[in-house]
Structure formats: C-alpha cells, structure tokens
Structure 1
Amino acid sequence: MKIASFLSFFLIMSAFISFAQEVKLELSLEEARRIAVENNPDFNINALEVDIAKETQKQAALKRIPQIYGDFNLQQNLIIPSTPVPAKAFDPNAGDDELMLLRFTTKWTSNIGVNASYDLFNPSLQGAVKEAAIESEIKETDHLLAKNQLLFDVGDAYYACLVALEQVRLAEVDSLSKFKVVEMTQKQFDAGRATLPVLNEVKLAQNNSRSNFQEASKIFKNSKEKLLVLLGYSPTDPVKISFQKELGEMLSDTETSSSEEHLSLNLRKLQQQSKLAEIQLNTAKNGFLPTLSLNGYYGSRFYDNSFQLFKGGNWFGNSFINIGLRVPITEGIDRIKKISQLKIQQQIIAESIRSQRNKQQLDINTARDDVDYYEQEFKRKKENIAMAEENLKLATQQYEKGRILISDYYNGVYTFQKERTAYLESLYKLFVSKLSLEKASMD
C-alpha cells in the first residue's frame, strides 16, 4: 500500500510539475515580434556582436593614453664580457699601441624601474580609433537589418499559422459534412434508393476528406513549430499557442508606413562603409608622416659579484626622458599600393550606393504594386467563396431531397474547395505583400 501510495503521489507531482512548466502564449503579431526580439538566440548573438564592437572601440581609444609599465630583471653573467681599451688610459708608461682588457660588468646585475611612453603624434593610431568607431556603427546597422529580417520572418510564420489553422477548421467542417453525406447515402442504399457505386463514391470522398484534415493538421503543426523557433523556443518545449484574432480580423493590423518615413538601412550601411574607406585612405596617406613619441624611464640598477640584492651601496639610480622620431622609409612602397586599393574600394562603394538606391525603389514599387493587386484579388476571392458556399448549401439541400445526383453535389463541393483554397492563398499573399512593403521601406 505504501509503494502504491508513493507511486500515485509521484505521478500526481510529475503531472503537476509538467503542467506548471507549460508556457501559454496568446499572440498578436506585435506580441510575437516582441517575444522574438527578446528571445531569439540568433538575434541575441547579433546583439552581443554589437557589444563586442563597442568594447573594441573602447579598447582602441585606450591606446591613446600614456602606456606605463614596470619591469624587473635579474641576470647572472656566467662569462663576464670585456672589451679592449688603450692601456695608456690607465698606465701612462704603456706604449701607444698597447691594449688591455677591461671588464665592464659584474657577475650579478639587476634592473628595476618604471617605463612610460606617449605618442605625441601617431597618425596610424588616430586612424585606428576612428575606424573602430565607424565599425561599431556598421555593426549596429547590421543589428537593425537583422531585426528587420526577424520581424518579417515572424510575420510570415505568424500568418502562415493563421492560414494553416483556418485550413484545419475548414477541413474539419468538410469532414463532418462528408460524414453526414455518407450517413444519409447509407440510409438511401439500405432503402434501395441508392446504388453501391454511389455509396462507395461518397465513402471515398469521406476518406479523402479525412486525409485532407490530417494534411492540414500536419501543415499547421509545422507552421507552429517554425514560429516557436523564431520566438526562441524549441519545438519540443511545452508551449501552447493561441491567437488573439481570427484570420480575417488581421487585415486591419497590416498597414505599413510609407518609405519616406524611414532611412534605408542598407544605404546607411553603405554610407558608413564609404566613410570607413575614407578614414582608411586618410590613415594610409598620413602613414608617410613621422611618428613622434615621448618616452621616459625611472629606476635603479644593481651591480655586484655576489648575490646581495639588499646591499644598498650597489644600487645605482637610472632615469631618462627622450623624444623619439620615427620616419617611415621602405614602408611607403607597400602603402602606395594600399592607397590605390582604397581608392578603387571607394569607387565600388559609390556605385553600390547608386545600385542600392535603384534596387530599393524597385523593391518598394514592386511591393506596393503587389499590395494593390492582392487587395483586389482578395476581394474577388472573398466574393467567389461566398457564392460557392451558397451554391454548396443549395446543392446539399437538393441532394438531401433527392433532386440532384451525387455527381452534381460533388461538383459543388469541388468548386467550394477550390475557391476556399484560392481564398486562403490570396489572403496569405496579401499579408506577405504588406510585410514585404514594410521590409522594403526599411531595408
């Protein structure tokens, strides 16, 4: 009894934990996009790359401050170096050509001190700081482009889910309708008022209807899983999705702003790349200029033939300040080629800007034409499905009363299904065309 009670308790707690972990999402298009921007891992990676670019910019700026570092070294000279010097410098009686060896260090030497260096004028360093700032801006623009693509993908997946869900509902209604037809035809067959081929035909249609329902359910499941991935969830996560509005109600939520209200992100990126190329070109030209630096050292050196570092009399102060001037000579050959490449790169970017302007305007015009076309197409398909549905109701009533043949009834069913598919397809294309116009206005 205790084991059975424990197992029951375990199963109940497991079910409770599973239920508690289930995530329920009641989605509008705006809510789905918000969740995706916050939770999509690929987009989060893109945001972290922007943070890296900003840190790189800060790192480049830190190179402009004075570089200060301390150093310490201890050296044992196994062979004490020596150098020949005129002997007469130490012995007045020595001959003019006589030499003597002079040792110029001890067995133990050490050095401890603080070094400092500051570039008073360094054109390469100034250019690197400016380049890092522009590259950070380019990364931010890439992030906005990624966001724009994510918003489009989420919208596309969201509408695909709504259309697929509507297909499931319609397929379910169709299956119920086919079931009633089979039931009615079976009664007619039992009463001798319908033939076996007619009965088999309606049963065949019922099986096809069930297959259509299963296919629609599969499409909806796949669409929902794609949307979940875009929202940052795994397809296996216990997430239940519901939609705040029906499919037809979404039309009023897909209005897009005009392209004049937005600066093209791709154009902005190209302009930033042009500015970066200009900075790189100026940096390369300034590379012919010398580098002027201020250097200093403050420390002490130890000399002794015995290892007595704390013997104060063997420590000697050492300090200096100097100004260094570095004039490039051979580097100029490579720099000339680099300048030529950067000038060509500027021409490429200029042409890319012109091409992007034309492409963006073409994309906007195409998307706007698609919106106008699919709005009219949707109105026609909406009228068609209303008429087809009315005809199907009349055909069903007539068939139930035995006034038309089963073939005539199925002609009405086929027409309705065809118009239903065309209606949903036109509605989805209208949604996507509006998303495309929104994206083209931003890109």
Structure 2
Amino acid sequence: MTTTSHTETLLHSAHVATDHFGSAPAPLLRQLFAAAVAAAQPALCLPPHLPRAAEIGSGRLWVVGAGKASAAMAQAVEAHWDGDPQALGGLVVTRYGHEAPCSRIEIVAAAHPVPDLAGWRAAERVLASVQGLSAADTVLCLLSGGGSALWPLALPGLGLAEQQALARAMLASGARIGEINCLRRHLSALQGGRLAAACYPARVLTLLISDVPGDDPADIASGPTVPDPSTCADALAIAQRYRLPLPAAALELLHSGRGETIKPGDARLARSELRWLATPQMALEAAASAARAAGFEAHILSDALQGEAREVGKVLAALARQIAQRQQPFAAPCLLLSGGETSVTLRTPSPGQGGRNVECLLACALELVGQPGVHALMADTDGIDGNGPAAGALIGPDTLARAQALGLDAQHMLDQHDAHGFFAALGDALHSGPTRTNVNDFRALLIAPP
C-alpha cells in the first residue's frame, strides 16, 4: 500500500457526519486535509534526503530520533538504505500509537505531551549509545514534532516528576511553542545542541519534519543537534512572564548558568548538518494544489499563525464573513488555508476534552453565527488534537442551530475547553487516527459563491 493510499484510508474511515454539509463541502475539506498529510508522509519525503552507503563510507549509520513521525521515518530509512544491513542500527522514540515496524532500528513508544518513564529511559539509552563514536561514524537524527516531550531526560538535579509538573504548567500557561522550547532546552540533557555535542567526533545528519511556526530547527524537538543562541536569562524571563512554578533545582540550573546550551561556533557542532523533509508550507501548498484541481481558488494566509486559539478563530471568521458578504479581499467561491500553532490558556480548573484546533473551530463557529455558505475544517496533522480522541472537526452554517436543538450550549462548552465534547455530540468530529507525521495545525475555510 502506498503512503497516499494509507493516508486516504485513515481519513476516509473518519466518523464524520457529512450529511449536514451537503454533498460537496465536507468531502472536499477532508480531501484537502488528506493531501496536506500525505505530502508530509516520511515514505514520500525522506528517501531523496537519505545518505547513500558510498557517502557513509566504512563507518556505521547509527539512527536516533524522537517525534510523532520518528518511527515512520525510521521505517523509511530501513526501506531505502542501500548499504550493509549490519552497518545500520539505532533507537528512536515515538508517541504511543504512532509506532511502525522496523527490523534494525528499535522503536520505543512513550507519552506525549506530558512525558513518562519510558521516554526518560529511552533518552538515557540514546545518550549512552552515541558515546565513543569515531569520526568514521554517522549519526542520523530523525526529528519531528513531539520530540521535546519524548526525550524528557533532564540535566542532573531534575527528576521525571519535576519535568512532568513543569510540562503540565507550560501547557496550561498559554505560552507560545518557541517560549516553551526555550525553557525546555535549558533544562534538558539532550536538547539545545547537547546531543550533537555528545556525538562528536562523529558526523551528525539531522532530517527534519517541521511542526513549528517559522521552521526554526532549534524549536523542532527543542533542537538537540543545533546551536542555541538563547540564554538561561531568556529562559528565566519566560518562566517569570507566565508565572511558571519552577522547582528549586531548575532555578539553580538557570541562575547558576549550568543550564546553558551549546552556542553557535562550538567546535563539537562543526560536523552537524540539517536537511528539511517537510514543513507546514509544503503541506499547505499540497492542499492548495488539490483545491485548485477540484476547481476552487485557494489562498494560503500563513503557515505560521500563532496566538490564543479562540482569538485566531474569531479573526478567521471575520475574514470569511467579509468574503461571503462583500467579496473582499477575495471573491467567493474560494478556500482559505492556514497553518501554524495556536495556544490555549486554561481558564477553568476542571477542563473538558479539548485541543487548540477544535477550540479555534468552535470559536470560529460562534463568531460566524451561521453565516450562509461558510464551511470549515480544523485539525492537527498528527491525527490527535489536544487531550481528545479526534484530529479535529468540521463546521457548517447549521452547526449552532443543530447544537441548540440538542441542548448544547456552545459558548459554555468553549469556556470549559470542551470543544471535543461539543463536536462529538454533533457527530462532526474528524477521527483520522495517528497519521505518523506532524506538520502542525491545518485550517481550511470554504466560502461558497454568493
């Protein structure tokens, strides 16, 4: 089965009530999501970037990695490696449910977004495995979104329980992913360039699938193989800005400077190289191409939208209304595509099941107030949005009316961060299952002709 057909099978099996959206909008939106996900599948995008055996020479190709796509990336490495199988080995960590079978590279599953002992121990093993490599060896590092939580091993003085508490606090704080990863880098035993430094003098080749706005490699899995220009003082300022309860050991690491990361110009990173496999922009371009093939003009607004999820939803709704009512700044029919990573600040001590994409979508529906002709899909390209079981959901002009008929209070459920519960009750949740890739948020708004 090809990568594309595997992805389409996942998405076509989604339990989505499409009857409410007419015969065209929901299937088209799902097709665009499938196109975005397919473009970022490791089996498609990794092989052209895999080093050849002649490039490796007589040394070993040792594979390490972390992220929601790392197991599928490892599988693609095994399928396309043209050298001696005995020269290939390694260990990668992926999220539970995202595993892929491999024969030479060990796959370990661990928890995300709050780390667990499996991830901690796997990170210990990864760090130990690169000790003593020679200049003839090559470390192939496979990184994708989620790698920060899957490699939670901290600097001496911090334990797993403290890392877990900090992860929960950061997730609830509303901090942007770049800010969260800056703090992570200064407390980690692998991130902030430390893994590449540990591999020296071996060559390090990092293959990246980006899930971060701006595609900064320091933010993908918190940059284990790249230099980090940020400082302990920067990390402290972020913790203070969001009132994060840092444990005493973390404060000591930051105040003393012991948490300082590997800086640009460090000789141990001289043999470290990056290659990009997939980015949010590439996925959006694939979706735009699919839309145009279906006869719709598509506009990519941005691959890096950030901000509070519900506020982004309101802005997208306002833009869709302007198009539907005034044919500005684009003429309907058209599709608006965007990516990036929004944030959710928890406002209740007992939140329901939610995620940034469904929270953005529910806020969008409330702002649209049933605007005729506007349909939308918002989902996480890894197949799981937040703490709910779905990748995302769909809305149409009748979403709020159907919710009211069922006795659902859309505003109250948004305030309770229970958007997954809202869309599940309507039958409009998008269940793709783990896609084994991750290029972050995917948002598509379809504005029908006036």
Which structure features the higher share of helix residues?
1
Same fold by TM-score greater than 0.5: no
Normalised by the shorter chain, which TM-score bucket? under 0.3
Task: Provide TM-score, normalisation by structure 1.
Answer: 0.19
